[in-house]
Amino acid sequence: MSTSREKNTAKFILGFDLGTTNSVLAYAPLDAENPQVELLALPQLVSSGTVESRTMLASFAYLANPNEAVGGVLDLPWTKQRDFAVGEYARRQGAVVPDRTVGAAKSWLAYSRVDRHQPILPWGAAESVAKISPVTASQRYLEHIVAVWQELHPEAPVAEQLVVLTVPASFDASARELTREAALAAGLPQDLVLLEEPQAAVYAWLADRGDRWRRALKLGDTLLVCDVGGGTTDLTLVTVADDSGELVLRRMAVGNHLLVGGDNMDLALAHFVAGRFAEKGTKLDPWQSVALWHSCRNAKESLLATEGATSDQYPISVLGRGSRLIGGTVTTEVDRLSVGQILVDGFFPHCKVSDRPARRMASGFRELGLPYETDTAITRHLAAFLQAHGPAPGQPVRPTHVLFNGGVFKADILRHRLLEVLGEWFSNDADNQAPQMLEGSHDLDHAVARGAAYYGWAKHRGGLRIRGGTARAYYVGIETAGLAVPGAPRPLKALCVVPNGMEEGTETDVPSDEIGLIVGEPAQFRFFSSSTRKNDRPGELLASWSLDELDETDSLETTLSAAEGAEDDYAAVRFLSRITELGVLELWCVSTKNNSRWKLEFSVREDAGAE
Amino acid sequence: MDQLLLISEIVNVVLFLMVVGWLVARILGKWKTTKIAAEKPQAKIPDKTETKPPTAKQPPKPSRSEAITLLATLQREARFVDFIKEPLDSYSDAQIGAAVRDVHRDCAKVLDRLFAIQPMVNQEEDSPVEVPAGFDAGRFRLTGNVVGDPPFHGRLVHHGWEATEVRLPAWSGTQLSVRVVAPVEVELA
């Protein structure tokens, strides 16, 4: 499609999965006849002074005390005199030195109530810790992977390769822009492509199936991609459509950014087991509680495995902390039934498709910090998602197939439960089959990176692509004219500037009244997005909307430089929106008098603390 | 019944420790033969007295025995050294069993990741097996009535173990820590 734009020096396609808890790089040589996607082994510190390769880089950063970072203990083969560490060592340090460990930076990127450029992480750490911003943290994870690649392939610099970076489908334009910014700072090329993670999971499946995918999916099918990672849940619907006789995949809807995932399950289990210890009179200290959390992470899989269970009881131990391992070990038994209830019924409860997640309590004061979901029931979030994108109110979307992604779904019982619940919602009848799991092999930990690499290969060499354009519609807030009332804000209307599904590589003029801006002064616009309003066209002016329809994100601003030969200090503009080939949203103010135009930029900084 | 399970578990661990010991010995042996020259300069390891490293000249990068690296990994991830160094006399089998389960699981993870240890023969033990002509004496151990020339026909007693990979961590610590298996841990209030 855009081969002319592509670099002819590129030898590889690189697929980066910048995850909330783990990051992965998959790559494929461009000249191969068939896509041969490999995972890059990622050397990382696993302990002070010890470097080991893993397939995933733990997305954690440890900001060492200067006294700890001497003697090269945080060195990597390609860099010396480091005062921080990323990867497995940082993840481990999170358990014992939480005040110096940055985690979940990616979730912070999507959280518009804080300034993502400010050094705010680790959140709530002491003054003496030299904190970093969510953007910087993301940049460091990517820099690490880039450095590993450079070591291995000095002949193929990252900046000259074709690069795909995945983002959650639920990321809005501002979170995507921040991700891009971190990526460019880490040395990824300007023409890097952002791909939605659930789509990447579908590409990984397509790569595995080859042409056989046509046997699994047919015209009119709807695929639900259910991606439950360590910290987040991401839902997407993809339909199989017909495009002049060819079957094509079209992304139909994406869900909201849900902060609930596998970590919540480990914590819920740990909480339960801590209760069992308390019943026996064993009080766990903070270190033991963290150790218990890790034990529960390990125990979760065997506990959820229904096959091969020899007894209903399962022992969980917390090893002694000092060198007296056996003497200090405390242990308790949990029964599989209760664990099943906590995890399966707690996170995937049976519910009706008309159910809604419990709402977060609104209160005057809300402590800043990540807005973790109040309702951990993924099935209820799924019900709300399917309802929101149905053809009419009360008519949910009916998926025909389900593709699972994320480590959580390694447990058979959770996959089965989700299919069971979907089956209850959409029971078998003469015309319809209950939703089925997509056949084929699923590499739940690495599918997103693999899919990203395959997508890049397919884009370059020609292959099946998922279409769909933007997952959201975007709106600019316009204050209505009229007499000012002291103390009351002017009523706000939302002008649709980007419709849902606007395709990459297109632009559109936004018809509207002229908007007056003062030359030489910054102009600022509130900016909103919606994943559910699908029929708004550019230029439509919404006078009212319900709270859950429109999400406000970072505002946009620009400063109008004095145009040449302009007599006034006042310019009348209209908007023009573009989605670049790379999927980047651009919004421009275009003068109605001459050809001057000004690009609007996200003003993340101004927004901080505005709440 | 529980007692039996525990005992079998302990037997498992002991077997497993033998394998680890064997591996350590193997790696150490290999290391000694191939890297003997590299080891010479640091045969004298500074003791605990405060010897300041020379600052003027760039000191040679300290290097560490790979066996220590393996031990440190097993200790860090599976508390292996803690477990072996602790006298068992004062504990009941149930107490030992409770700790063993975690140590065992985590040791196995380390061995899988670093060595991807696999049986050398994909055959049931106790089944008939042929040892081909020109076999490598390092890969087969013949017992019983060893006479004549191969191929030999016999009964498989042990399928053997082989590290299909060796992916030991690289180490970049200080001269004073080359023999540290687990550092002193101090919690600051």
Nearest Cα residue in chain A from B110: A52
Tokens of A507: 């632009």
Residue B25, number of CB atoms within 10 A of its CB? 11
Chain A CB within 8 Å of residue B171 CB: yes
Chain A CB within 8 Å of residue B159 CB: no
Chain A hits for B102, Cβ within 8 Å = 295, 298, 317, 319
Query: Count of alpha carbons within 13 Å of B138, Cβ hemisphere only?
Result: 2
Specify the pLDDT at position A390.
Answer: 87
User: Looking at the predicted structure, is the pLDDT value of residue B22 above 70?
Assistant: no
Chain B hits for A317, Cβ within 8 Å = 98-99, 101-102
A317 with B170: Cβ contact below 8 A: no
Specify the pLDDT at position A366.
Answer: 44
**Among the partner residues B82, B95, B170, nearest to A51 by beta-carbon distance:** B170
A49 with B172: Cβ contact below 8 A: yes
What per-residue string of b and e applies to A203-223 under the rule 16 or more CB within 10 Å gives b? bbbbbbbeeebeebbeeebbb
Which residues 327-356 of chain A have a CB within 8 Å of chain B? 327, 329, 331
Specify the pLDDT at position A7.
Answer: 62
User: Using one digit for the tens of pLDDT, what is the confidence trace for B123-163?
Assistant: 888 999 999 999 998 999 999 888 888 899 999 999 999 99
pTM: 0.83
Specify the pLDDT at position A5.
Answer: 47
SS3 A539: coil
Tokens of B153: 């026909």
Specify the pLDDT at position B49.
Answer: 45
Contact A555, A499 (CB under 8 A): no
**Among the partner residues B86, B101, B169, nearest to A46 by beta-carbon distance:** B169
Give A76→chain B minimum CA distance, Å.
8
Chain A CB within 8 Å of residue B72 CB: yes
**Among the partner residues B88, B105, B169, nearest to A52 by beta-carbon distance:** B169
Chain A CB within 8 Å of residue B86 CB: yes
Candidates A89, A329, A330, A333, partner chain B, best to mutate (most B CBs within 10 A): A329
Specify the pLDDT at position A115.
Answer: 87
User: Looking at the predicted structure, is the pLDDT value of residue B28 above 60?
Assistant: no
Give B79→chain A minimum CA distance, Å.
8
How do the residues of chain A divide into helix, strand and coil, expressed in percent and rounded to 5? 30, 30, 45
Nearest Cα residue in chain B from A73: B173
**Among the partner residues B85, B102, B171, nearest to A319 by beta-carbon distance:** B102
Give B70→chain A minimum CA distance, Å.
11
How far is the C-alpha of A251 from the C-alpha of A469, rounded, in Å?
Answer: 8
> Would you give the DSSP letter of residue B15?
H
Segment B48-61 mean pLDDT: 53
Chain B hits for A77, Cβ within 8 Å = 170
Q: Which residues of chain A have pLDDT under 50?
A: 1-5, 362-366, 605-611
Chain B CB within 8 Å of residue A313 CB: no
Chain A CB within 8 Å of residue B99 CB: yes
Chain A hits for B82, Cβ within 8 Å = 323-325
**Among the partner residues A50, A298, A319, nearest to B171 by beta-carbon distance:** A50
The contacts of residue B112 (CB under 8 Å, 6+ apart) are none
Specify the pLDDT at position A365.
Answer: 45
Tokens of A143: 């820099």
Specify the pLDDT at position A498.
Answer: 93
Tokens of A273: 């087991």
> Would you give the DSSP letter of residue A8?
T
How far is the C-alpha of A93 from the C-alpha of A90, rounded, in Å?
Answer: 5
Give B185→chain A minimum CA distance, Å.
9
